[in-house]
């Protein structure tokens, strides 16, 4: 092998290396970057969807706690109202029993009372 052939071989090798380097930097690296971006976007979307689902679950649990508290309050209010009505009915019955024991009676019924209270 002569020096001229060696220089030619070195030039061909350098040209091949330059072509391979250019191909790698112009084609392969952008493809890898695009794939990485696509993967990152998919991962970011999945993470965002998961965070949104977690937030909705936390809000649902908080809403259920509030609903349960209001149901307890409503139950207590209804029980108190029922107790007041029962106490009122007992007072009326006691008053009517007192009137009967005294030999008096109240002949006014609900229709008479409504007529008297009409404006």
Tokens of 92: 């009326």
User: Domain spans of the chain?
Assistant: 3-106
pTM score, whole prediction: 0.48
The pair phi, psi for residue 109, each rounded to 5°, is -105, -175
- The model's pLDDT over 12-62, given as tens digits with 9 standing for 90+, comes to 898 988 888 888 887 777 887 777 777 777 788 888 999 999 999 999 999
Residue holding tokens 């009676």? 105
Q: Rounded to whole angstroms, how far apart are CA atoms 55 and 59?
A: 6
Q: What distance in Å separates the CA atoms of residue 3 and residue 21, rounded to the nearest whole number? A: 26
Of the chain, the percentage scoring pLDDT greater than 90 comes to: 36
The span from the CA of 17 to the CA of 13, in Å, is 6
């Amino acid at each position: 092998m002569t020096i001229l052939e060696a220089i030619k071989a070195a030039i061909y090798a350098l040209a091949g290396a330059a072509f391979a380097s250019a191909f790698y930097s112009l084609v392969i690296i952008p493809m890898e970057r695009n794939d990485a971006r696509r993967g990152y976007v998919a991962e970011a979307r999945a993470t965002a969807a998961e965070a949104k689902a977690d937030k909705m679950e936390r809000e649902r649990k908080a809403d259920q706690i509030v609903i349960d508290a209001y149901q307890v309050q409503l139950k207590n209010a209804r029980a108190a109202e029922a107790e007041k009505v029962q106490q009122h009915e007992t007072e009326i019955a006691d008053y009517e029993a007192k009137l009967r024991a005294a030999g008096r009676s109240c002949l006014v019924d609900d229709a008479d009372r409504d007529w008297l209270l009409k404006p």
